[in-house]
Structure 1
């Protein structure tokens, strides 16, 4: 597995991620326990497969989706998370100062 990355937009959400072994989505490698991500139940090992309806495979994909949402004035992004063969959606706030 490639080295984990913590892009600014992801750091703001409390997430550290790495590319998944199969190239489908991004694996959460760490979650800040005091973050919005932790509050919403995201855990290490979860796989982020989409952000705001866009498939994601790189940290740049995630950062762009978050930046686009903030630029459009959205207060949150919807992330599709897969855990143990089950998928769910999690809304995370963006643009917090």
Structure 2
């Protein structure tokens, strides 16, 4: 069960990743919980952009605010060339932490 708690609310990375994948510039997304002084944990997104897209972190966060509950919105976005995958194609989130 992949989940983190944001200010008492359960946040499920798979759900947040699904929302992020709806953005036209996002090719792949992975979300993890990272420590936060005020809320306990908050989401951090790792995003692979589609070729020729220039979406920035602030734009993606603002876009997310319009589509999901506030506690689910990633507080930070890091862009990668590729997500670390295992032999079966699953994202190795332990390498993102």
State TM-score, norm by structure 2. Answer: 0.33
Bigger radius of gyration among the two: 2
Structure with the bigger RCO (C-alpha within 8 Å, sep 6+) is 2
State TM-score, norm by structure 1. Answer: 0.33
